[in-house]
Amino acid sequence: MTNNESVVLGRITAVHGIKGWVTIRSFTAQPTDIFAYDLFIKNNKKNIKIIIEEFKVLTKKIIAKIKSVNHIEQAMPFVGEDLLTDKQNLSKDSDSEYFWYELISCEVYNKENKKLGVVKFLERIGDNDVMIISSDNEKQDILIPFIRTYIVDVNLDHKLIKVDWDENF
């Protein structure tokens, strides 16, 4: 594995059955797109390549078979691990596209320049990506769909996102 900067594409969340299959939570636009990338995990600061032999899309989750993992005991150490790829493996179709990792930690302001909070993570809900924003003022996170209707401007150099969103919404 190279020493390039890595990006999290998903996470192994659980074992599935007794034959070494795992449940994967994908952070890619289309959940199965994760399998198009060379994947690895970090273990003791060392990159370990993960080869997916087979995967299946079930009703509410994706399960996968990791090469050479044939028993539940072998799969257990993978649970909770992030699935990574080298940043250089990613490509954009246009300048108006953003990777989720680029948006995380951006400060979010509304059109009145009131700070709403900081992007904690993104989630795909239905057909839209949704920013989950942690706010110092609110007890609950703020969820804002990442669509043109609400996104006014994204400035990755300054880690700022301006939205058309009422702070009391």
Answer yes or no: is pLDDT of 107 > 90: yes
What CATH number should be reported for the domain holding residue 121?
A: 2.30.30.240
Query: In this structure, are 79 and 124 located in the same domain?
Result: no
Say what the pLDDT of residue 97 is.
78
What does the alpha-carbon distance between residue 46 and residue 34 come to, in Å, rounded to a whole number? 21
- The confidence score (pLDDT) of residue 93 equals 66
d(CA 152, CA 90): 25
pLDDT above 70 (res 128): yes
Q: Is the dihedral of CA 95, 100, 105, 107 positive or negative?
A: positive
- CA Rg, the chain, in Å? 18
Select the more confidently predicted residue: 22 or 136.
Answer: 22
In terms of pLDDT, which residue wins out, 122 or 169? 122
Tens digit of each residue's pLDDT (9 = 90 or more) over 7-50: 989 999 999 999 999 999 988 878 899 999 999 998 878 889 99
Asked if 158 and 116 sit in the same domain, the reply is yes
CB 82 within 8 A of CB 42: yes
- Could you tell me if 29 and 83 lie in one domain? yes
Domain residues for the domain of 159 are 100-163
**Nearest of 65, 66, 83 to residue 8 by alpha carbon:** 83
Q: For residue 134, is it within any domain?
A: yes
Please name every residue paired with 107 in a beta bridge, in sequence order, or none if there are none: 118, 160
Higher pLDDT among residues 168 and 156, named by residue? 156
Torsion of CA 47, 52, 56, 58, to 10 degrees: -10
In one letter, which amino acid is 121? F
pTM: predicted TM-score of the whole model, two decimal places: 0.73
Number of domains into which the chain is organized: 2
> Where does a domain end: 89, 111, 146?
89
- Which pLDDT value is given to residue 2? 46
Taking all residues of the chain, what is their mean pLDDT, rounded to a whole number?
89
Residue written as tokens 């003022």?
137
Same domain, 84 and 104: no
Taking only the tens place, the pLDDT of each residue in 141-154 is 999 999 999 999 99
**Residue 94 confidence (pLDDT):** 61
> What one-letter code names the amino acid at 2?
T
15: domain CATH number is 2.40.30.60
Q: What is the pLDDT of residue 64?
A: 97
Domain assignment present for residue 94? The answer is: no
